[in-house]
């Protein structure tokens, strides 16, 4: 165990955040998380949770930042568009969508490690 879970979580989240700011491809984090998980993950559950949590957090931070700067002008309209009761649900659904992809990515990374990595 090279890193503690907390450190890995912070590393994953910050990396996803940074990548999102630099690369204008919304699913670019998938490759990053596969790679990270290939390097760092040992257990399926842990890999899954790290992927889920880090994207959930990174996306939530990005959305809150945008929403604050925008005084919720656009999120209110999109909430109305999707007939949602509150913008918080919109933010939650969005973060959840990212998180699912994140979890699948880290799970794949972990499995790749099991398939092709050095296994004791």
Partner 1 sequence: MNHFRTILSLSLLLVALYFLNSYTIKTEKANIPPLGKFLNPITGFWKNAENIETIKNESIQLKGLSAPVTVIYDEHMIPHIYAANEEDLYCAQGYVTARFRLWQMEIQTRAACGRVSEILGPKTLDFDRLKRRTGMKYGAEQTLAAIENNPQAKKLINAYTDGINQYIHSLNAANYPVEYKLLNYQPEDWTNLKTALLLKAMAENLTALEYDIEHTNALNMLGKTDFNLIYRDWWEEQDPIISKGTPFQKHINNAISNTADTLFSTNSNPIQSIENPIDKEEEDYMLGSNNWAIAGAKTKSGKPILANDPHLRLSLPSIWFQIHLSCPTYNASGASLPGAPGVISGFNDHIAWGVTNAGRDIRDWYKISFKDASMNEYLLDGKYQKTHKIVEQFKVKGQADFFDTIVFTHHGPVVYDRNFSEKQAMNLALRWTAHDVSEEMMTFYKLNKSKNIQDYFEAISHYSCPAQNFVFACKDGDIAIQQQGKFPIQRKDQGVFIQDGSLTSNDWKSYIPFEDNPHMVNPTRGFVSSANQHPTDTTYPYYYTGVFEYFRNRRINTELTRMSNIQLQDVEHLQLDNFNWMASECLPAMLNKLDKSHVNAKQQAIIEQLSAWKFYNEADSKAAVYYEIWEDTLEKIMWDEFMHTKYPVRFPEKITTLHFISTDQASIFYDIKKTEKVESLSDLIALSFTYASAKIASMPDQDWTSFKHTSIEHLAKIPALSIDYVACGGNKSIVNAISKYHGPSWRMIVEMTDDIHAVAIYPGGQSGNPGSKYYDNFVADWSQGKYYEIYHSSILNDMKKHASSILELKP
Chain residues that interact with partner 1, rule: CB under 8 A: 20, 23-28, 30, 59, 62-63, 66-67, 69-71, 73-75, 77-78, 80-81, 90, 93-94, 97-98, 100-101, 104-105, 107-108, 111-112, 114-115
Spatial separation of the C-alpha atoms in residues 80 and 90, rounded to whole Å: 10
The dihedral built from the CA positions of residue 38, 61, 97 and 17, taken in this order, carries a sign that is negative
Question: Least CB distance from residue 5 to partner 1, whole Å?
Answer: 21
Question: Least CB distance from residue 91 to partner 1, whole Å?
Answer: 9
- Joined together, the tokens standing for residue 13 give 């989240």
In contact, 101 and 34? CB cutoff 8 Å: no
Residue 43 or residue 66: which is nearer to partner 1 going by CB? 66
Residue 4 or residue 71: which is nearer to partner 1 going by CB? 71
């Amino acid at each position: 165990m090279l890193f503690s879970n907390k450190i890995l979580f912070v590393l994953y989240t910050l990396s996803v955040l940074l990548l999102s700011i630099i690369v204008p491809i919304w699913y670019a984090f998938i490759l990053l998380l596969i790679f990270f998980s290939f390097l760092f993950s040992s257990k399926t559950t842990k890999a899954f949770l790290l992927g889920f949590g880090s994207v959930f957090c990174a996306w939530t931070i990005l959305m809150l930042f945008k929403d604050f700067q925008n005084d919720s002008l656009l999120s209110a309209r999109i909430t109305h568009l999707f007939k949602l009761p509150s913008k918080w649900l919109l933010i939650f659904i969005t973060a959840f969508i990212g998180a699912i992809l994140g979890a699948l990515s880290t799970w794949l990374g972990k499995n790749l490690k099991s398939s092709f990595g050095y296994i004791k």
